[in-house]
Chain A
Amino acid sequence: MQVGLSTKNAPSIWVVVPHFLIGTVSFLLASLFVVFNYEDLLGYHINGHVLAIAHLMILGWVSMIIFGALYQLIPVVMQVKLYSEKLAIITLVSLVIGLFFLIAAFLGYKFQLTNNFIVGGSLVIFAIILFAINTLLSALSSDEKSISKLYIAAAGGYLLLTVLMGLFIPINLTYNLLPLAHTQLMTTHIILGLAGWFLMLVIGVAAKLMPMFLIVHRTKENLLKWGFYLINGGIIVIFVTTFISGTPYLLNQISFISILAGFVLFLFFNYDVFSHRMRRKLDIGMKLSAIGLTMFAVSILSFVALYFSNGVFGLAVGRLEILAGLMLVYGFFTGLILGQTYKTLPFIIWLFYYQKLVGKQKVPLVADLYSDRLAEIHMYSFLLSIVLFVIGLLFSIKIVLLIAALAMLFTSLVYGFNVYKMIFHRKQRVNA
């Protein structure tokens, strides 16, 4: 094998593709839930339907695609084979069954520890632990020294910490092991999960892929190095001080600003990459990714408003939380996933069908596996849904929220059709 080639390290199509399929179905289901329960978005966030939607989006859609995409990208970023494909399959099965029980529990409106919660929660946690182990062991077996690998390995560590913290909360509530406010524990749990796991992972992957796809050579990697120190410093201080009583509020605020500053540096890194790209014309995948990154900047502002105030423009904190979460999970993560789907999924399908045929017969290009036109259409409906969600939530206009929900459903349907087109691609023979 020639050094530096990742194709031979590439995982089996059967490991990656089911994640995209199940992720897309989850996105579709979550959109349907939003259409039928759009009025709930205006209420306080602890509501069975909103929690079902949030978990379908975070676990079924975002995490599912991230898991599948990362299995495909570990060989690219770390130049090593995924530690275990069997572990990846067990993770997938456990996550899907766990998610099913968890959604059933949320829709049941019971906030006691029902059997559905116990079974669903345990399976999801089990899946997440397996995934983190698989990622960390892959990172450990790689000799590659890059900022991308550092971020991804740290993200794997934070994922484990997030799960442990999530387990500790109900145990502490029941047995009162430490005299800590559970809201404080919950805040730390969310910061670990969002900043430590999701965002560190996204930064790690984007640090490698953005310059690669846009053809940029000299990147401002120092921004990412400083970002790493700022984000980790902030998270560690917040985590440690959760368990120390009487921590000055100012220290928490400084840590929070430190984390945000790290994310701002990541945005500057991307701005620099986009500005210096050799590939001036953006394809649909990169356009959607750019929208996602812009939404990230908006979600940072939403979180700042949430953290430093008890309400903005007279808004209840509950609604501000939904707005901030929506911008992050829907605007940023969904935008980035919609875009990066077109940069990852067609490759593994194309390699599966055509790798052995190149040179022997004319084969289609990677971009021929999906409809560019359909992708453009769902880009605009996605943008429309974001704008309408923001207006509907800020000004409590139900009809606007309904149209936003329908635009989201339309986006998921069109995107779903394109994913279907890629996954169930029929081998073509292109005439020369």
Chain B
Amino acid sequence: MIQENITEEEAKVYEVLKQVPDPEVAVNIVDLGLIYKVIKNDDAKTLDVDVTLSTPGCPVGDTIIHHIETVLQNNFPEHAILVELVWEPTWNPDMISDEGREELNA
């Protein structure tokens, strides 16, 4: 996870996002290091998520984003969800968590 100083509420969002797998490798997107930022604003009722993909042109990218939106909408129905695809910094395999590495080779 590259985001620092997250609130308890944002940590909950990260937990929810673990329900979203990359359909190809069957590892969740949080442990793959694809989530760069989660900002949950309970006053403004907004939930912003920055997500990246392992490579531009990833064939399941659209599906992953759709899945994120659906899961967040289900869990945080009061919030306006904004999922943004970002390319900076470029994703690299060092961003995969230890749990992700284990799952990848299970």
Contact = CB atoms under 8 A, between A and B. Distances in A.
B74 A359 contact: yes
B69 to A, nearest CB: 8
Nearest to B56: A4
A196 interface: no
Q: Which of under 10, 10 to 19, 20 to 34, or 35 or more describes the interface residues of B?
A: 35 or more
Contact of A279 (B55, B92, B104): B104
A186 interface: no
Q: Which of under 10, 10 to 19, 20 to 34, or 35 or more describes the interface residues of A?
A: 35 or more
Interface string A205-226: 0001001110111000000000
B65 to A, nearest CB: 7
A89 B21 CA distance: 34
A217 B92 contact: yes
B25, B57, B74, B84 — which one has the most chain A CB atoms within 10 A of its CB?
A: B57
Interface string B81-106: 00011010000110010000100111
A281 to B, nearest CB: 5
B63 A7 contact: yes
A1 to B, nearest CB: 9
A279 B25 contact: yes
A156 interface: no
Interface string B34-63: 000000000000000000011111111111
Contact of A7 (B24, B56, B60, B87): B60
A360 B70 contact: yes
A280 interface: yes
B71 interface: yes
Contact of B59 (A76, A280, A281): A76
B104 A215 contact: yes
B104 to A, nearest CB: 5
Interface stretch (A113-121, A311-319, A350-358, A413-421): A350-358
Given A6-B57, A359-B74, A278 B104 contact: yes
A3, A10, A279 — which one has the most chain B CB atoms within 10 A of its CB?
A: A279
Contacts of B65: 2, 5
Contact of A4 (B26, B61, B68): B61
Contacts of B68: 359
Nearest to B26: A365
A333 B92 CA distance: 31
A104 interface: no
A-B complex: 6 closest residue pairs judged by Cβ atoms: A359-B70, A7-B62, A4-B56, A2-B85, A358-B67, A278-B93
10 contacts: A3-B85, A4-B57, A4-B61, A77-B57, A213-B24, A215-B96, A280-B104, A356-B66, A358-B20, A359-B71
